[in-house]
Amino acid sequence: MTANAKNQSNTLVKKFADKFNFPGEKKLIDTLKATAFKIKDGVVTDEQMSALLIVADQYGLNPFTKEIFAYPDKQNGIVPVVSVDGWSRIINQHPDMDGLEFVYSDEVITDLPDAKSCSSWIECVIYRKGRSHPVRVKEFLDEVYRPPFEGTSKNNGSPYKVSGPWQSHTKRMLRHKSLIQCSRIAFGFVGIYDQDEAERIIEGQAEVVIDPAAHQEPSENAKRILPKLVKRASENASWQAALDYAGENFTGIDLNFISQELNKAKAAADATLLPAQNVAKSPQSSSAVPNAAETVSDNAANNAAPGATVNNKPHRQHLSEARDALA
C-alpha cells in the first residue's frame, strides 16, 4: 500500500470510528474484519478492509447493520455486497428519486423445479425528477432463477439438495432483482452487487480440488452384490444388463464403484476371447473346416442385434433375471 493510499485509509478508519463512537481505530478494524467479511479460511488484509470502507463511505452504508459486507475474491480484492435494506436506503436517499412501482406479468410459471409459482417477469419502474419518461427494467424468472444446491454426502455418497431463498421466496427474489437492476440504470450505481450476484461471482472463481486422502469406500452391500453381477454377466455375456441393474439400484460412490469394476471385468473377459478367436481362424487349426453346428452358432453371434447376447437371450430378459437372482 502506497503512502498516499495508507493516509486515505487511516482517514477513513478515523471517520468511521468517530461516526460509530468506537473507542479506538484498531478496535474498529478488528470488529469489521470479523463481522463484515464472508470468509471461512484466510485473513482479511488491510487493503481489503480499506476497499470496503471506501465503498461504504461512497454510498453512505452502515457495515454494522449489514447494509454492506464483502466477499474476498481470488485477486485479493473484494466483491462488495449491498443487502436489500442497503439498496433501499441508497435508492430512497438519492436526491432525484421521485417514486417507483412494480408491474407483474400475467403469465405465471408453475413448473420451474423447486420454485413457487411466480410471474414470468417483473418490471420495476423508477421515476426521476426532471425526466419526462421513467426508467423501466424487466427481469425474467427463467434468466435469474437459481436452482437449489446439490451435492453428494461425504459419509455414504448419497445425493442431497439444499434449498435457498429462490425456492422459499421466489416472487420476492425476482422483485428484488428488478429493483436493483432498474436502480443501476436510473441512478448509475456501480461497483456494488446484491448477495445473489456476489455468490455467483465467487462460485465462478472457485476451483474443484480432489483430495486423494478423502477417498470414500463403497458400501458393504455394493461389495456384496458386485461378484454376483460379474459372475452372471460373464456367464451370459449380459454386461449391459448388469450395468443397467447397477444404475437402477445404486447411486453415488456405490454406482461408480460397481460400474468401474464391471467395465474392468468385461474388458478382461473380452481379452481372453481374442486368442481363442484367432486360433479358430488360423489355417493351421485342426478344425479348419467348421461343422454345421459351429457355423450356425457363429452366424447367430455375428448377426445378433445390438444389446442381444450370443445365446440370443434378449437384453431385457437378462436384466429381469439379474433382478430376480440378486434380490
DSSP letters along 150-198, please? EEE-TTT--EEEE--HHHHSHHHHHHHHHHHHHHHHHH---S-B-HHHH
- The three-class DSSP label of residue 146 is coil
Higher per-residue pLDDT: 176 or 151: 176
pLDDT of residue 171: 97
pLDDT of residue 96: 97
Q: How far apart are CA 183 and CA 185, in angstroms?
A: 5
Position 81 pLDDT exceeds 90: yes
Is-above-0.95 flag for pTM?
Answer: no
190 grid coordinates: 456501480
Q: How far apart are CA 137 and CA 125, in angstroms?
A: 7
- Region 180-197: what's the mean pLDDT? 94
What are the structural domain ranges in the chain?
A: 17-79, 83-198, 220-283+290-326
